[in-house]
């Protein structure tokens, strides 16, 4: 169906229906073609952008309440991130959703082939608590751009953000096709019993398995954006101060609760002492002598995570940090050295402000260390050597790779963002989001007037004579 074929009805901004009626209501809207016209998709994306602009400071307050995030960080990594994603999507929407002509083998000629991206239907987006605005709304941008009806499930562990978005979304987006469901495990379990046309889940691998099992009952495809231990290789061939500054920023932003944060550093015994000193200096430069009093430094989401992280501090030697305060769930930006590869801090995803340094004799040993473990979401390397870069690319597997700066690979919308193996399946961002939330339908169109297919139909006697 094209824009011209479907008239755009005015959106209803009424209260959402009861949860039991939710799926049939959204499916009914999808089946009536409400979400298909480009004009509807565009209008929803513009409304979402307006929501983020009109209520930016409310969302900043909610992020400060849930995670102690500073306003600047909230704009950079959450609210502004989604606004930029919407801008980029709107400027490419027509091209990304237009049918694409493809070449057809000469034996089929005359014929035309094209790929038509069609929306999947009603999709579920489940988000975690660590970037509760970005990780709920960036997938929503892709789902709307592709023309789907959407159920949003924010994380109950970021309650202020969940409540704020649950209030605002129905005021800005078309409630015939977009709904937000709040709740914890029981509500999510109930939701997962429904048949969706796609489930987009971001969070831990443990819950990812639950989501995948629930989806399998309906043969629903899934995108799983998971986590893991993303290593950073530092070989001492580039300025250690610059390396440490970028590593410390990437590790300690959002108090280390970032899925693509460098989980641990791999380096050589020769390069380690200078790197330790530089990392301690970098923490001081970024957060001052007492990060506890620095408004730019965040807090741990809840007591459970705080206790888990506190227990990880028992391993190795503290290079900097190590201070904690359970009342405010503060854990100082911490660098650990002399850590055993078998210790807890090296066997589970850290997901907090603790950076262990592991020494290995060589690049080959570093590669062996990485490949002996689950495939990470990201691999980082700080090296001046092109040979080292090529070797790392060829001999390791990870969701993505970034040389010279961690985290920023996910700010380039032309790069797909996702994991591989234990770090996830599927990808999104930019055009990859539209792909994820679309079915690419193959269309072959062969005219009737030239019967070039006679040779493939019985009787084959003429053909066998020629063979
Ligand atoms: P979480 O506990 O908030 O869970 C994520 C979602 O799953 C929530 O919506 C929650 O309600 C739901 N959920 C939780 N338990 C459930 C259950 N038993 N049954 C059904 N649904 C359930 O978040 P989390 O899992 O603690 O998130 C942290 C993890 O997410 C880390 O491993 C991190 O690396 C990963 N992560 C990945 C990305 C990425 O883009 N790849 C981004 C952020 C976080």
- 409: pLDDT strictly greater than 60: yes
Q: How far apart are CA 434 and CA 395, in angstroms?
A: 31
Q: How far apart are CA 185 and CA 203, in angstroms?
A: 13
Q: Which of 204, 375, 418, when mutated, tests ligand 1's pocket best, judged by the most ligand atoms within 8 Å of its CB?
A: 204
Check residue 85 and give its pLDDT.
97
- pLDDT tens-place string over residues 61-79: 999 999 999 999 999 999 9
Give the 3-state secondary structure of residue 122.
strand
Q: Tokens 């070449």 identify what position?
A: 103
Instruction: Judge contact between 439 and 116, C-beta under 8 A.
Output: no
Tell me the average pLDDT across 240-267: 97
Check residue 339 and give its pLDDT.
95
Report, in angstroms and rounded to the nearest whole number, the Rg of the chain calculated over CA atoms. Answer: 25
Pairing of strands 378-382, 400-403: parallel
The ipTM (two decimal places) reads: 0.95
Tell me the average pLDDT across 239-265: 97
Check residue 3 and give its pLDDT.
41
Q: Which of 81, 124, 128, 138, when mutated, tests ligand 1's pocket best, judged by the most ligand atoms within 8 Å of its CB?
A: 128
Check residue 274 and give its pLDDT.
98
Q: How far apart are CA 339 and CA 318, in angstroms?
A: 10
Half-sphere exposure of residue 77: CA atoms within 13 angstroms, side-chain side: 22
- 19: pLDDT strictly greater than 60: no
Q: Whose CA is nearest to atom 13 of ligand 1?
A: 185
Q: Is 73 annotated as catalytic?
A: no
**pTM for this predicted structure:** 0.93
Check residue 131 and give its pLDDT.
97
Considering 225, 276, 349, 431, which one is annotated as catalytic? 225
- Å from CA of 200 to ligand 1 middle: 11
Burial call 263-294: b when 16+ CB within 10 Å, e when fewer: bbbbbbeebbebbbebbbbbbeebbeeebeee
- pLDDT tens-place string over residues 140-188: 999 999 999 999 999 999 999 999 999 999 999 999 999 999 999 999 9
Domain boundaries, given as residue ranges, for the chain? 19-226+427-439, 231-419
Q: Which residue ranges have their beta carbon within 6 Å of ligand 1?
A: 126-130, 135, 153, 155-157, 184-185, 188-189, 202-204, 207, 210, 225-227, 259, 349, 351, 377, 419, 424
- pLDDT tens-place string over residues 429-444: 999 999 999 999 999 9
| 19-226+427-439 and 231-419: identical CATH topology | no
Q: Is 225 annotated as catalytic?
A: yes
Tell me the average pLDDT across 104-110: 92
Burial class (CB in 10 A: 0-12, 13-18, 19+), 45: buried
Give the 3-state secondary structure of residue 240.
helix
- Å from CA of 37 to ligand 1 middle: 33
Check residue 465 and give its pLDDT.
60
Half-sphere exposure of residue 341: CA atoms within 13 angstroms, side-chain side: 13
- Å from CA of 454 to ligand 1 middle: 57
Check residue 452 and give its pLDDT.
81
- Å from CA of 351 to ligand 1 middle: 12
Instruction: Judge contact between 203 and 128, C-beta under 8 A.
Output: yes
Backbone dihedral angles phi then psi of residue 412, each to the nearest 5 degrees: -100, 105
Q: Tokens 């000629």 identify what position?
A: 109
Check residue 451 and give its pLDDT.
81
Give the 3-state secondary structure of residue 339.
coil
Tell me the average pLDDT across 218-233: 97
Q: Which of 203, 208, 348, when mutated, tests ligand 1's pocket best, judged by the most ligand atoms within 8 Å of its CB?
A: 203
- Å from CA of 184 to ligand 1 middle: 11
The percent of residues above 70 in pLDDT, for the chain, comes to 94
Check residue 449 and give its pLDDT.
86
What is the side-by-side order of every strand in the sheet holding 100-102?
100-102, 112-119, 438-445
Those residues whose C-beta lies under 8 Å from the C-beta of residue 33, and which sit 6 or more positions away, are: 1, 6
Give the 3-state secondary structure of residue 224.
strand
What are 125's two structure tokens? 């987006």
Give the count of beta carbons closer than 10 Å to the beta carbon of residue 227: 27
Give the count of beta carbons closer than 10 Å to the beta carbon of residue 41: 24
Give the 3-state secondary structure of residue 377.
coil
Phi-psi region of 401 (alpha: psi -120 to 50; beta: other; left: phi over 0): beta
CATH class of segment(s) 19-226+427-439: alpha beta
What are 173's two structure tokens? 């987006």
- 17: pLDDT strictly greater than 70: no
Judged by average pLDDT, the poorest of 4-18, 109-123, 232-246, 341-355 is: 4-18
- 407: pLDDT strictly greater than 50: yes
Residue ranges of the alpha helices (H) in 376-415? 386-395
Pairing of strands 112-119, 438-445: antiparallel
- 389: pLDDT strictly greater than 70: yes
Check residue 414 and give its pLDDT.
95
Check residue 464 and give its pLDDT.
62
Helix (H) or strand (E) holding 336: strand 334-337
The percent of residues above 90 in pLDDT, for the chain, comes to 90
Q: How far apart are CA 379 and CA 404, in angstroms?
A: 11
- Å from CA of 413 to ligand 1 middle: 23
Q: How far apart are CA 232 and CA 467, in angstroms?
A: 60
- 246: pLDDT strictly greater than 80: yes
Pairing of strands 100-102, 112-119: antiparallel
The domain 231-419 having CATH identifier 3.40.309.10: the answer here is: yes
Q: Whose CA is nearest to atom 31 of ligand 1?
A: 204
Check residue 462 and give its pLDDT.
64
Considering 44, 60, 73, 259, which one is annotated as catalytic? 259
Mean pLDDT over each residue of the chain, to the nearest integer: 94
């Amino acid at each position: 169906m094209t824009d011209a074929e479907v008239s755009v009805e005015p959106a209803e901004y009424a209260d959402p229906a009861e949860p039991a009626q939710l799926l049939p209501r959204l499916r009914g809207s999808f089946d009536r073609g409400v979400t298909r016209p480009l004009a509807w998709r565009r209008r929803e994306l513009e409304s979402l952008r307006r929501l983020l602009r009109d209520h930016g400071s409310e969302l900043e307050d909610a992020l400060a309440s849930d995670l102690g995030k500073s306003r600047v960080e909230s704009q950079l990594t959450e609210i502004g991130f989604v606004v930029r994603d919407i801008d980029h999507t709107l400027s490419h929407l027509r091209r990304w959703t237009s049918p694409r002509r493809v070449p057809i083998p000469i034996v089929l000629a005359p014929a035309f082939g094209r790929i038509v991206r069609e929306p999947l239907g009603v999709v579920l987006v489940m988000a975690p608590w660590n970037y509760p605005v970005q990780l709920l709304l960036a997938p929503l941008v892709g789902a709307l751009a592709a023309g789907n009806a959407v159920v949003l499930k924010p994380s109950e562990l970021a309650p202020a953000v969940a409540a704020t978005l649950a209030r605002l979304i129905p005021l800005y987006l078309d409630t015939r096709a977009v709904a937000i469901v709040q709740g914890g495990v029981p509500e999510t379990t109930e939701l997962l019993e429904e048949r969706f046309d796609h489930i987009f889940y971001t969070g831990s691998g443990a819950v990812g398995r639950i989501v995948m099992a629930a989806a399998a009952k309906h043969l629903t495809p899934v995108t799983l954006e998971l986590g893991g231990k993303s290593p950073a290789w530092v070989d001492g061939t580039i300025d250690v101060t610059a390396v440490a500054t970028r590593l410390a920023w990437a590790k300690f932003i959002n108090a280390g609760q970032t899925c693509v944060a460098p989980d641990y550093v791999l380096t050589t015994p020769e390069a380690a002492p200078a790197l330790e000193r530089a990392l301690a200096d970098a923490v001081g430069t970024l957060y001052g002598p007492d990060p506890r009093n620095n408004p730019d430094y965040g807090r741990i989401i809840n007591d459970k995570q705080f206790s888990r992280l506190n227990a990880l501090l028992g391993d190795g030697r503290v290079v900097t940090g190590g201070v904690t305060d359970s009342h405010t769930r503060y854990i100082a930006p911490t660098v650990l050295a002399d850590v055993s590869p078998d210790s807890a801090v090296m066997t589970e995803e850290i997901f907090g402000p603790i950076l262990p340094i592991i020494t290995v004799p060589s690049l080959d040993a570093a590669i062996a260390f990485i490949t002996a473990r689950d495939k990470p979401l990201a691999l980082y390397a700080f090296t001046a050597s092109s040979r080292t870069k090529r070797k790392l690319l060829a001999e390791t597997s990870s969701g993505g790779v970034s040389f010279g700066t961690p985290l920023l690979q996910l700010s380039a919308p032309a790069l797909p963002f996702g994991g591989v193996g234990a770090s996830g399946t599927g990808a999104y961002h930019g055009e990859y989001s539209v792909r994820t939330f679309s079915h690419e339908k193959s269309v072959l169109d062969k005219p009737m007037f030239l019967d070039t297919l006679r040779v493939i139909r019985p009787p084959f006697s003429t053909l066998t004579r020629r063979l």
